Amino acid sequence: MSQRIRSLILRLIVVVIALTSVSGCNESVKAQKSVKVKKDDSVNLYVDAVILDESNKQEEAIAKLQKAVDVNPEFALAYSLLGGIYLKQNDLTKSVQAYEKATTLNQWSYEDFRDLGKVYRLMNNYTSAAGAYAKASELDPQSVDARFGAADAYYNVQDYEKALEYGKAARDIAPTNSEIEKLLGDIYTAMQDNELAIDSCKRVLELKGTDVSTMQNLVLCYLRTERYEDAKTTLNNLIAAEPNNADTLRHFGFTCLKLREIDQAIEKYQKAVQLTPNDWRSHKGLGVAYMMKYRMFSSLDDPQAVEFRKKALESWSKSLDLNPTQDKLLKLYRKYAN
């Protein structure tokens, strides 16, 4: 017998005990017996559905469960199992409807609120997901899944304070979970709390090893705090992991500009432009690098200066074609074009 069936049967025993209690002192014996027979039928249908579901006969299981809730419309466990089967079938709309019914009927079911949050999250309905996960967290404060789910959902609706609250609570329960630490890094990055974001990103890399998105966040935080040498070290590691990542190459070009490593900046921007010809930012950065070369050679009266000026203007012209709203760049272009 699988652990899942054992769990369902345990929950069912609780339900059966509740169903066998007397509903009211003024009911006739005949009415009580009639209700009990109907509820017994719904329990039998539920048990059949559990077995059918375990045998991967999901449509037959659904049919049994629908009969069970017809007999007993307040049978929360049947709606819960329906939600799970629909989720396995990727029918998210029916799954969320079933879990909503289950949580309405049984407001003490941690599992149903957690799974309701999961389905809403899959539907990208993060507001509803946050509410369901938060309720699950109340019912089981030691649940990592519920705390993490709530943190992720609040992060996606840009409620970063709430996201941080649940994320830190999840980390307190599971301090070596790299996914929780990664989410905290994302939250701190979004809040522009760069030092804490850097700490979280480093912790993720210690726990997980190479992780591209974490390293990208780390670069962003280093650039925000003007730690260009640290940014360059991380960018080298990123290039080793993904040699043709245009965003990484563009950030690398910017970092090299800040370090006055102009030739390297040109090299990185050129590759970024080759990979993403329609990225106006890479064209702009390449133009800046060429213009810096122009000014260096111009100060030495080197005739090559003219060629670098020409290349800078060509790159800026392309950037302005792709994004005409760059007023400052347009002024620079006109200044050096005349």
Q: 152-185 pLDDT, tens per residue?
A: 999 999 999 999 999 999 999 999 999 999 999 9
Angle between helices 76-88 and 3-19 (to 10 degrees): 150
Does residue 122 belong to any structural domain of this protein?
Answer: no
Does residue 97 belong to any structural domain of this protein?
Answer: yes
**What is the C-alpha separation between 68 and 60, in angstroms, rounded?**
12
Does residue 112 belong to any structural domain of this protein?
Answer: no
- Average pLDDT over the chain, rounded to whole? 90
> Which CATH number does the domain housing residue 83 bear?
1.25.40.10
> For the chain, how many structural domains are there in total?
1
pLDDT of 22 reads 36
- Structural contact between residues 100 and 76, judged by C-beta atoms closer than 8 angstroms: no
Q: Any idea which residue has 């599971």 for tokens? A: 174
Does residue 286 belong to any structural domain of this protein?
Answer: no
Q: What is the domain range of residue 65? A: 1-19+32-106
User: What pTM was estimated for this model as a whole?
Assistant: 0.80
Does residue 64 belong to any structural domain of this protein?
Answer: yes
Find, among 176, 174, 181, 191, the residue nearest to 213 by Cα: 181
Does residue 60 belong to any structural domain of this protein?
Answer: yes
- Structural contact between residues 189 and 154, judged by C-beta atoms closer than 8 angstroms: no
Does residue 80 belong to any structural domain of this protein?
Answer: yes
- Structural contact between residues 269 and 256, judged by C-beta atoms closer than 8 angstroms: no
When computed from its CA atoms, the radius of gyration of the chain, rounded to whole angstroms, is 30
- Determine the average pLDDT of the residues in 202-228: 94
Q: 87-138 pLDDT, tens per residue?
A: 999 999 999 999 999 999 999 999 999 999 999 999 999 999 999 999 999 9
